[in-house]
Amino acid sequence: MCGIIGYTGGEEAVPIIIDGLKRLEYRGYDSAGIACQCDAKVEVRRCKGKISELDSQLSDFSGSSSTAIGHTRWATHGKPSEENAHPHRSDGIVIVHNGIIENYIELKQQLEGEGYVFTSETDTEVICHLIKKHSEDKSLTEALMEAIRSVRGAYAIAAMSEKEPGRIVAARKDSPLVAGIGDGECFVASDIPAFLAHTRKVVFMEDGEMAVLSPEGIEFLSLEGKPIQKETVTIDWNAAMAEKGGYRHFMLKEIFEQPRSVADTITGRLLSHRTGEINLEEFGLEDQQLRTLEKVTIVACGTSWHAGLFGKYIIERFARIPVEVDIASEFRYRGPILQDNSLFVSITQSGETADTLAAQRLAQAQGTKTLSICNVVGSTASREADAVFFTRSGPEIGVASTKAFTAQIVALYLFSVALGRAKGALDEDGARDLINDLLTVADLMEQTLLSDPEIKGIAKELHKNKAFLFLGRSLQFPIALEGALKLKEISYIHAEGYAAGEMKHGPIALIDDGYPVVVCAPKDDLYEKVVSNIQEIRSRGGTIILITNESNKAHAAGISDYVITVPDCPTHIMPIITAVPMQLLSYHIGVFLGCDVDQPRNLAKSVTVE
């Protein structure tokens, strides 16, 4: 997720762009850049680091420019560096981009064959050279249309050409882009905060639309060049609300971003949707390494450890090799024995968690190959691991991890299918079916998010309870653990996650009148066993909040006090879906209790010390 802004009008563009980028830093902040139209030339300045670094580099910029585009980056392809920062340039064409170009490798090879020289590791640069290629005999608008026809993937693009001063052309598909209309000036940006200080008149662009900006105004076109009439809306948000996209908290915004973040985590990782073949290069692994693998050790902390536990279940199910999961702070001090032909996997959103880094280094010291499943390009874990798989959740601002967690689960699911194919435990048809199941997740999440108002109502009724139990079996057990962690860390209510089958071994002693128990139990092969656990709890006065699948609603209503349903889907992707109501329930309880859900007391987003 990156931040884009473009301006053209009567004012000095540079300060408007820099200020706009600062208001987009929550979208990405590992490198930044600006391109300014100065007379017949376009000047580009870029740097690694935050916007303030770019701003200081511009202190000697004496030019005058009324048209400019800027970018703040969250790296997905290529480390944070000046060379990989946007804007990218191809002769007189400059562009900024947010999204992921799936077929950039083949396009890059084709363009290099045509003599175009690449200077970055990014996928974005191919768009720039494609526009240049087509602009020899076409306008910037027509050249961008042609370029877009060659690319596959998600994009929000803003482009300028030295041959067309004062003009910015923009286009979007599967990546947000909004236009701002001022008096004799106009804007385009990834998000409203970038220009809210200048205008509240906003046009939300849709997929497949383009915008041509000039000081005279904005023309909206289809990709075929047909004019489109667009509605202008007036935004009444303040700046703080705008950063959260109108959501009350970053945590809620990030919960609702999950369909996008899981889709982005899958994009570009499949060699073929038809065969379900995974692009192992994305994992930094080779088929031969997977074929000889005899054991996987997964190590993480907190929410990431819960994702690791899901990884155990799914890898053993699909690949049929043993998986050991450990909490990093335990692993590093227990004298672990790592056998030959094993793979050590660290899971870490930040890539900077001290215990996880120490564990990863311990594994490397024993000569074990390491893979890091990480959300931050350029982070320590991702740089030190032998191989890395980046979840593409974008910056996770809320301290309580939500979208990173489901992206980690998606990453482990993809890995388990790849490993299953390599080990011969999965045939081509089996792998294809599992991948096709995974490709439905974003839509299933969208449907699940529609239950937010109902979940908020349940949270209101339950928020005064002083303790909760969360139960699940098999693949739903890690989700129960995660639900308990979410609740305790943002509402400070004591909450415990347990394997449902363990109730008789102690926890059932907790149950008395009204004791709330959240149970994750879709109608699968273990459902009847969970029903027994539920009946034991209800017979002792406990209150049941059952998260189950839609077609099981009638039966669930007969055994529960509250039922939250999610769409029917296969057991192996259900955990990605049931995580969402867990997150929403905890979020709303925390809000009803007046807690600071984005920055809970005593917690840090990244635990970089022991």
125: closest CA among 140, 109, 141?
Answer: 109
Q: Which stretch binds ligand AGP (CB under 6 A): 94-102, 160-168, 259-267, 297-305?
A: 297-305
One-letter amino acid identity for 156?
Answer: A
Residue 364 or 606 with smaller CB distance to ligand AGP? 606
- Give the shortest CB-351-to-ligand AGP separation in angstroms: 7
Query: If binding means CB under 6 A, how many residues of this protein chain bind ligand AGP?
Result: 15
Residue 302 or 394 with smaller CB distance to ligand AGP? 302
Q: Return the sign of the alpha-carbon dihedral for residues 178, 179, 180, 185.
A: positive
What distance in Å separates the CA atoms of residue 575 and residue 496, rounded to the nearest whole number? 18
Instruction: Please report, as residue ranges, which positions from 260 to 279 form the binding site for ligand AGP (by CB under 6 A).
Output: none
What distance in Å separates the CA atoms of residue 601 and residue 26, rounded to the nearest whole number? 21
Instruction: Name residues whose C-beta falls within 8 Å of residue 562's C-beta, 6 or more positions apart in sequence.
Output: 458, 461, 462, 543, 544, 545, 546
Q: Does residue 87 have a cis peptide bond before it, meaning omega lies within 30 degrees of 0?
A: yes
Residue 355 or 524 with smaller CB distance to ligand AGP? 355
Instruction: Please report, as residue ranges, which positions from 438 to 457 form the binding site for ligand AGP (by CB under 6 A).
Output: none
Residue where the block lists tokens 């959740």: 393
One-letter amino acid identity for 147?
Answer: A
- Give the shortest CB-179-to-ligand AGP separation in angstroms: 36
Instruction: Name residues whose C-beta falls within 8 Å of residue 261's C-beta, 6 or more positions apart in sequence.
Output: 391, 392, 393, 394, 403, 404, 406, 407
Binding status of residue 391 toward ligand AGP by CB under 6 A: no
Residue 182 or 497 with smaller CB distance to ligand AGP? 497
What distance in Å separates the CA atoms of residue 471 and residue 391, rounded to the nearest whole number? 27
Of positions 302, 311, 575, 581, contacts ligand AGP by CB under 6 A: 302
- The 467-472 sheet, strands edge to edge: 494-499, 467-472, 516-520, 543-549, 562-566
- The contact pattern for ligand AGP, residues 466-495, with x = CB under 6 A and - = no contact, is -----------------------x------
Yes or no: say if 268 and 100 are a contact pair by the CB < 8 Å rule. Answer: yes
Could you give phi then psi for residue 594, rounded to 5 degrees?
75, 25
Residue 199 or 382 with smaller CB distance to ligand AGP? 382
What distance in Å separates the CA atoms of residue 69 and residue 37, rounded to the nearest whole number? 9
- Give the shortest CB-344-to-ligand AGP separation in angstroms: 15
Q: Which stretch binds ligand AGP (CB under 6 A): 113-121, 214-222, 295-303, 416-424?
A: 295-303
Q: Which residue is closest to ligand AGP by CB?
A: 302
Residue 257 or 489 with smaller CB distance to ligand AGP? 489
Of positions 94, 96, 212, 301, contacts ligand AGP by CB under 6 A: 301
Binding status of residue 304 toward ligand AGP by CB under 6 A: yes
Residue 350 or 543 with smaller CB distance to ligand AGP? 350
Binding status of residue 599 toward ligand AGP by CB under 6 A: no
In 379-476, which ranges are E strands?
387-390, 467-472
Give the catalytic positions in this structure. Answer: 2, 605
What distance in Å separates the CA atoms of residue 83 and residue 73, rounded to the nearest whole number? 12
- Give the shortest CB-507-to-ligand AGP separation in angstroms: 22
Instruction: Please report, as residue ranges, which positions from 320 to 379 form the binding site for ligand AGP (by CB under 6 A).
Output: 348-350, 353, 356
**Paired sense of beta strands 516-520 and 467-472, if any:** parallel
Residues that bind ligand AGP (CB under 6 A): 301-304, 348-350, 353, 356, 399-401, 489, 606-607
